[in-house]
Structure 1
Amino acid sequence: MSDYAKALGARLRAIRQQQGLSLQGVEEKSGGRWKAVVVGSYERGDRAVTVARLNELAEFYRVPIAELLPGDGPGRHEGASKVVIDLERLEQLPGDELGAVQRFARSIQQQRGDYNGRVLSIRADDLRTLAIVFDVSPAGLIEKLTEWNVLVATPIRP
């Protein structure tokens, strides 16, 4: 069994457990589409999972497929990530969605006593919290911030 298969299995198990599901619970919730023995074998790394099946499993768990993949993807090791927002650009942009980011950024500045007014580093916990507001993953939020052209620096991975 490869290290990657073990790591993939660990991610699958972590997502299932985060959703409060046992292997039997997965089988029941899926109406038998996902057999407990099959999901368990994926989680142990004993059985290879195709990309198509992995995508179906991601849809079943209602998570982006990237969340199931091992490594330094979204939601993992985010302490190593750095997201820097251009506050001047952020304040100039109109829109209801941006209003939430603007208020959140002001709140972070206030908590930190950081009023340089130009940029704001968003920590991993802040990123996760704001992602919840937008009902997206941290990676999805970074995509939104990129679309809005308010990022100075994108996540840096060691």
Structure 2
Amino acid sequence: MTATPEPAEVTVLPEAGADEEAGLGYQQRLGAKLRAVRRARGLRLQDVEELSEGRFKAVVIGSYERGDRAISAHKLASLAAFYEVPVVELLPDEERSRRRSSENTLAVDLRRLREQSDDPELAPLLRLVRHVQWLRDDYNGQILSLRTDDLRTIAVSMGAPDDRLDAWLDERELLHR
């Protein structure tokens, strides 16, 4: 009788050929991304454990977030499903982050925008924000950075001059400060 082998745990590591020091840096960057997603959802480590009914232990999630413990691909996928984000959103991507941050002009507070979603004046903004999130695969939080092109599109759809859009958003307390 042949025993069926247990499925292997696959650990998420940096590119092959990276030295050990880079691996540690990667684990820490991965952990920082995990922490950012959890905090963007307004969750404490204990909340994750409770809401997952113990599937994700607070101490283990904390060790992933500190980069003290490697996370398997299976566990990462499960955590992404729990946070309701694509797995790729949990992986660090410094180049993409640098590109995004250099192009950002305004940050919209999505929580406040959702709170005011009944306001018909905000309907075009809501549609465009959802579209921008979809285009960027950006489901990672409560704040969305709008680039110059995004602002122009929003201004046109709302019939407002783009040089006044930031003031308009600020008057409605929709800008993240």
Q: What TM-score results when the alignment is normalised by the length of structure 1?
A: 0.52
1:33 alignment counterpart = 55
Larger-Rg structure? 2
Residues 102-144 of structure 1: per-residue CA shift (max 9 Å, x gap):
x88xxxxxxxxxxxxxxxxxxxxxxxx83x3238444349xxx
CA contact (8 A) 1:8 1:68 kept: yes
1:137–1:46 Cα change, 3 Å:
farther
Trace 1:3-18 onto structure 2 (pairs within 5 A). Answer: 3-18=25-40
62, 66, 75: which one aligns with 1:44:
66
Trace 1:1-158 onto structure 2 (pairs within 5 A). Answer: 2-72=24-94, 76-77=97-98, 78-80=100-102, 130=128, 132-134=129-131, 136-140=133-137
1:151 alignment counterpart = none
Identity across aligned pairs (percent)?
A: 46
SS of aligned partner of 1:40: helix
CA distance in 1, matches of 2:65, 2:29: 9
- Unpaired runs of 5+ residues, structure 1, are 82-102, 105-128, 142-158
Q: What TM-score results when the alignment is normalised by the length of structure 2?
A: 0.47
SS of aligned partner of 1:11: helix
Residues 22-42 of structure 1: per-residue CA shift (max 9 Å, x gap):
000100111111100110010
1:100 alignment counterpart = none
Query: For residue 14 of structure 1, what is the amino acid of its counterpart?
Result: A
- Unpaired runs of 5+ residues, structure 2, are 1-22, 104-123, 139-177
Number of residue pairs the alignment of both structures matches = 95
CA distance in 2, matches of 1:73, 1:64: 19
